[in-house]
Amino acid sequence: MVEWLFRIHTSGRMPRKRNPAGIAAGKLVLAIQHACAEDGDADALVARKVMDRARTLLQAAQIAAVLRLLDGRTIVEYLDAVWVEAHPSVGPHIDALVAAVTAREST
């Protein structure tokens, strides 16, 4: 039993508790992946940049550092406003992340 617990603890595969902002950021990452897969994005470099930034937002959300990461920008500006406008399906996920970050910051 102890060996099993040790393996879980040291393997880095411990179940994580995600806060609401982390959950919203994870759903945004999935929505961006889905949007990219659906249209095969003509501009793969921009799509990659957006995906990388969404993953960075996810990491920041886990440590309550989203506002610091954004540094005065909106999430849309941070990701890429043109790309987001071209992929309206991610809008509700951005809104959910904004709401979760705002709620967290106001507590």
Take residue 62 and report the two structure tokens written for it.
């886990």
pLDDT in tens, the chain (107 residues): 444 444 444 455 545 677 899 999 999 999 999 988 887 766 788 889 999 999 999 999 988 899 999 999 999 999 999 999 999 999 999 999 999 999 877 76
Query: pLDDT value at position 64?
Result: 86
> Residue 4: its pLDDT value, please?
42
* pLDDT in the model for residue 9: 46
Q: Coil, strand or helix: which one is 80?
A: coil
Q: Count Cβ atoms below 10 Å from residue 30 Cβ, excluding itself.
A: 13
DSSP per-residue codes, 28-70: HHHHHHHHHHHH--S-HHHHHHHHHHHHHHHHHHHTT-HHHHH
Q: Are the CB atoms for 31 and 89 separated by under 8 Å?
A: yes
Question: Does the predicted model carry a pTM greater than 0.85?
Answer: no
Within its chain, how far is the Cα of 19 from the centroid?
Answer: 12
Domain residue spans in the chain? Answer: 15-105
C-beta atoms surrounding 99 within 10 Å: 13
